[in-house]
Amino acid sequence: MTGSATPARRIVRRPAEPEAPALGAEFPPLLARVFAHRGIRAAEELQHTLDRLPSYTLLHGIDPAVTLLTAALRRRQRILVVGDFDADGATSTAVAVRALRAMGATQVDFLVPNRFEYGYGLTPEIVAVAAQRQPDLIVTVDNGISSVDGVAAAQARGIKVLVTDHHLPAAMLPPADAIVNPNQPGDTFPAKSLAGVGVIFYVMLALRAALRKQDWFAEQQLPDPNLAQWLDLVALGTVADVVPLEQGNRILVAQGLARIRAGSACAGIEALLAVGGRQRERLVAADLGFVVGPRLNAAGRMDDMSLGIRCLLSDDPGEARELAVQLDALNRERRTVEEAMKEQALSLLERMHLDGAGLPVGLCLYDPAWHQGVIGILASRIKDRLHRPVIVFTDGDGGEIKGSARSVGGLHIRDALDAIAARHPGLLVRFGGHAMAAGLTLRRDSLPLFRSAFEQEVARLLGGAPPQGEIRSDGELRPDEANLMLAEQLRYAAPWGQGFPEPLFDGVFDLVQQRVVGERHLKLVLRWPGGGPALDAIAFNADIGRWQSHQGAVRLAYRLDINEYRDRRSLQLVVEYMEPAGHQGSQLLSCSVRD
């Protein structure tokens, strides 16, 4: 694809805060400024102790949910956990199964729909499969809020249903026996950004509290379970699902990371870290998002998420290692498929003779041969490259096509789909999702109409043009500030992630040297203008052809990182964006895809 097809981006410095918060002597002024840029106004907002979590009593539907689960335990009923086929769904399933077993459930199992056979959620088809196991109670995790027909099908068979979910509800809620979802109407729980794994963790907290009041654990001669032992799973699912790291989620992630670093993670997470080449002692949230999450997700994308859940449920290090190796192999296969699909997508745009100015503001791409499990990643890659909402479609079954959507700031993609569905009744067979990501199903012959409706709706919401790509910088560092100590402080100052981004700085440097490493990455040697010591830098997934022969000064947006090689630790800049010095608005150099 030609360079003109990639829109210009620009580095934008975050506005100066009138007063940085007083955080204490352990936080240098620069770090206080970084936190101020992220809305922190008091040191208490950076305290990540569990007692600062909102109470589960604020969740609408928590009491009937606990009543259902308590009755199932006392009556020795069969409980079937039905999860989703991504990392959030896998960790949610593992938390539910582990916690219920620890609380005395003698007949608890899980079922995950295979995306290629049954699609998403508790459908009537998956209920028919579930019924073969004769469950008395189905507990959905990370799905179910849109499963009106599936819940009705379960109840018609005499199966009770507890829905736990975090996705946005439609106008009609499913007729479940209980629903716990912080985003359902009438819910006053303040932490609306919980991932699915966070929701089921809260349900388990409430269940344990009720069982304690009933002296259940003493009666059953069971140890009172410490739910903190499953925070490693909660942290993984929260980071992998890319939900905003508001304070409640930061607490869950910080506590889970602390357990993993201390060697208290489950065997599956330990094994996934090992095959990903990460040391648990120095683990940060990004490692969960870029290393562990993709390997776990690969099971649901390429095969069957049951493989990933078995890895997370295993207490045998040897078995967990074998499963992690299989997941790693699936992830390598996913990368190969993704790269081929990305090249095909870029060639498709090239053949359409579209340049950056002529692209639709909302883009739909379709190829019947694309892999269903990888279209979401492809949509994300094209969205990052073109900085506009993208939906990627491929063939499903029975004349239907399945799409995965990714959006940009300023456009709520699920609300956009909802508006299209209201304007064109029957056009969308089904859809659901979040502000930044969604899934949908259409009839194949409806694609032209949907494409037109999508372009019109996106143009209406964005004023006819996509927002310009911005690289948000925390400002410029002085040469004396860019050091190993600051890099270490930034690394562990907080769990960084969606909505609470890792500190990013910008500045002009002399490009001294560069070389290609690993085929797609650029290793750089930089120097501050006017002299000074050389700095090592790396740009992952760089546009090699564009920058390999560049000479002269460059302006960078970069993160401070620590390079560890043969027991030697040194400062390294991780380049997120590079442009010739003096040219504001150029081409994205790297996207730091580390999976």
Instruction: Give the chain's domain count.
Output: 3
395 and 539 share a domain? no
pLDDT at 23: 73
How far is the first Cα of the chain from the last one, in angstroms, to the nearest whole number? 24
pLDDT at 589: 45
Per-residue confidence band for 8, with pLDDT thresholds at 50, 70 and 90 = low
Strand partners, 394: 402
**How far apart (Å, rounded) are the C-alpha atoms in residues 180 and 173?**
12
Whether residue 293 contacts residue 272, with contact meaning beta carbons closer than 8 Å, is answered with no
Per-residue confidence band for 583, with pLDDT thresholds at 50, 70 and 90 = low
Per-residue confidence band for 588, with pLDDT thresholds at 50, 70 and 90 = very low
| Cα distances (Å, whole numbers) of residue 23 to 32, 490, 496 | 7, 14, 18
pLDDT > 80? residue 457: yes
157 and 11 share a domain? no
Half-sphere exposure of 326 (CA within 13 A, CB side): 19
128 and 162 share a domain? yes
Percent of the chain with pLDDT over 90: 71
pLDDT > 90? residue 567: no
Q: Domain containing 196: what range?
A: 50-329
Q: Residue 341 is encoded by which pair of tokens?
A: 């699909």
Query: For position 408, which CATH number holds?
Result: 3.10.310.30
pTM, whole model, 2 decimals? 0.90
Give me the chain's average pLDDT, please.
90
CA–chain centroid gap for 541, Å, is 20
Whether residue 410 contacts residue 459, with contact meaning beta carbons closer than 8 Å, is answered with no
Amino acid in the structure at residue 200 = I
Residue 185 domain-assigned? Answer: yes
pLDDT at 595: 47
124 and 156 share a domain? yes
What single string gives the DSSP state of each residue in 312-364? HH---HHHHHHHHHHHHHHHHHHHHHHHHHHHHHHHHHHHTT--TTTS-SSEE
Residue 372 domain-assigned? Answer: yes
**How far apart (Å, rounded) are the C-alpha atoms in residues 179 and 90?**
20
Average pLDDT value for residue range 20-46: 83
CB atoms within 10 A of CB 233: 28
Residue 340 domain-assigned? Answer: no
492 and 539 share a domain? yes
User: SS3 for 554?
Assistant: strand
66 and 117 share a domain? yes
Q: Which of 350-354, 396-400, 460-464, 513-517 has the lowest mean pLDDT?
A: 350-354
Q: Residue 349 is encoded by which pair of tokens?
A: 């745009």
288 and 139 share a domain? yes
Residue 591 domain-assigned? Answer: no
Give the angle 252-256-214 at the CA atoms, nearest 5°.
70
Q: Which of 386, 377, 359, 392 is nearest to 459 (CA)?
A: 359
Average pLDDT value for residue range 249-257: 98
**How far apart (Å, rounded) are the C-alpha atoms in residues 411 and 383?**
13
Q: In the listed set 329, 361, 383, which residue is the last one of a domain according to the structure?
A: 329
Residue 214 domain-assigned? Answer: yes
Query: For position 538, which CATH number holds?
Result: 2.40.50.460
11 and 115 share a domain? no
Beta strands in 410-489 (DSSP E): 428-433, 437-443, 469-473
Q: Which of 100-114, 271-285, 528-542 has the lowest mean pLDDT?
A: 528-542
pLDDT at 192: 95
Q: In the listed set 467, 497, 512, which residue is the last one of a domain according to the structure?
A: 467
Query: For position 65, which CATH number holds?
Result: 3.90.1640.30
Residue 207 domain-assigned? Answer: yes
243 and 125 share a domain? yes
195 and 286 share a domain? yes
pLDDT at 290: 94
Residue 403 domain-assigned? Answer: yes
Q: In the listed set 415, 443, 467, which residue is the last one of a domain according to the structure?
A: 467
The sheet with strand 363-366 has its strands ordered as 363-366, 390-395, 400-406, 437-443, 428-433
pLDDT > 50? residue 395: yes
Whether residue 423 contacts residue 398, with contact meaning beta carbons closer than 8 Å, is answered with no
CB atoms within 10 A of CB 188: 9
Using CB atoms within 10 Å of the CB of residue 29, give its burial: 0 to 12 exposed, 13 to 18 middle, 19+ buried: exposed
Give per-residue pLDDT as tens, 477-504: 999 899 999 999 999 999 999 999 999 9
**How far apart (Å, rounded) are the C-alpha atoms in residues 259 and 282?**
12
pLDDT at 276: 96
pLDDT at 177: 98
pLDDT at 11: 86
| Cα distances (Å, whole numbers) of residue 569 to 200, 283, 442, 566 | 40, 15, 52, 8
113 and 262 share a domain? yes
**How far apart (Å, rounded) are the C-alpha atoms in residues 315 and 36?**
42
H helix or E strand, kind and range, residue 508: strand 505-517
- Helix and strand numbers (H, E) in the chain are 19, 17
Residue 572 domain-assigned? Answer: yes
136 and 33 share a domain? no
